[in-house]
A and B are shown apart, each in its own frame.
Chain A
Amino acid sequence: SQTIHQWPATLVQPVGSPLSLECTVEGTSNPNLYWYRQAAGRGLQLLFYSVGIGQISSEVPQNLSASRPQDRQFILSSKKLLLSDSGFYLCAWREPDRGLSEAFFGQGTRLTVV
């Protein structure tokens, strides 16, 4: 069966420090991968998505970047965190079936920038 791992679960980082959040999927090949930020009153904001290794689409210009160095690995990064980067970050995967399937979510990372 397929599983998704996202870590760390919580993170407290000072302003200006770098960020790396990792997400890995097991039990599937060539998944579509997504990074979201969930904020109260704003739902799930799509940040980045990827349909293959090295293929990244960005939805919101901001202080973050994403990379997909391996087929089932998706990384969210920042060189210098801002206070406004605080939030709850979710990784998700879907089958590569032309957009018909549901998404499966990781447990999320609560990031607090201080």
Chain B
Amino acid sequence: GDSVTQMEGPVTLSEEAFLTINCTYTATGYPSLFWYVQYPGEGLQLLLKATKADDKGSNKGFEATYRKETTSFHLEKGSVQVSDSAVYFCALSDTSGTYKYIFGTGTRLKVLA
């Protein structure tokens, strides 16, 4: 069945460091892919998305490219800030008719000043 695998956390970085959070997926067909962020004490909110192969989603300095050949959707940011400390979730949406929507386990990011 469909699944999403995220790198284990927590990830601890210094401010202005480069961030990569890996996400790979297994799916039948051509899913849509998403990244969500959950700041401390808050709900989940969409960070970015890509709906077809080679699409690049971007928002707030974060980017992720839908790579069909490697079934990946890695999240990157060139220079993290303390305010980026949060839990990041990769998600997959089936587009073939079930509309199942599944999430990875989440990766906690802590950025130190």
Contact = CB atoms under 8 A, between A and B. Distances in A.
B98 A100 contact: no
Contacts, number: 59
A68 interface: no
Contacts of B91: 103
A7 to B, nearest CB: 15
Contacts of B51: 100
Classify the secondary structure of A's interface with B: strand
Interface in B6-23: 6
Given A99-B95, A100-B51, A102-B34, A46 B101 contact: yes
Given A43-B104, A43-B106, A44-B89, A99 B43 contact: no
Contacts of B102: 46
Nearest to A94: B101
Interface stretch (A21-29, A34-42, A78-86): A34-42
Contacts of A96: 99
A43 B89 contact: yes
Given A100-B51, A102-B34, A46 B99 contact: no
- How many chain A residues sit at the interface, stated as a range, is 20 to 34
A42 B51 CA distance: 25
Given A36-B103, A44-B89, A108 B43 contact: yes
B34 to A, nearest CB: 6
A57 interface: yes
Interface of B: 6, 31-32, 34, 43-44, 46, 49, 51, 89, 91, 93-96, 98-106
5 contacts: A32-B99, A46-B100, A92-B101, A98-B95, A100-B32
